[in-house]
Amino acid sequence: MLSLIISSIVFFIAAWYLNRYLDRQEIARGMTRGVLVFTLASLVSWGSGEMVDWAQVKIEGPQAAAQTPVDLSQLLKAVAQPQH
């Protein structure tokens, strides 16, 4: 959840800086520029999310996978058993 929040914030910051940079280079606004800004901001955002996930694993350790019954019939039998 933390990586989603941080990567969203980073996306908007990266898009703002990229637009500012392209304005200083006097590149005309248009569809190609918009796609370029979106793509580069998305890559920066994805990278920041990956770094947050990596840091979280280094700090907290790997998270255990949830243990769930694979077979649906086993799950239904477990649910149908009367509770004592």
Per-residue tens of pLDDT for the chain, all 84 residues: 888 999 999 999 999 999 999 999 998 999 999 999 999 999 999 999 999 999 988 888 777 666 665 677 777 777 777 766
Buried b (16+ CB within 10 A) or exposed e, 57-69: eeeeeeeeeeeee
pTM over 0.85: no
Q: What is the pLDDT of residue 49?
A: 93
Report the pLDDT value the prediction gives residue 65, as an integer from 0 to 100.
Answer: 66
In this prediction, residue 60 carries a pLDDT of: 83
Nearest alpha-carbon partner for 11 in 56, 36, 35, 46:
46
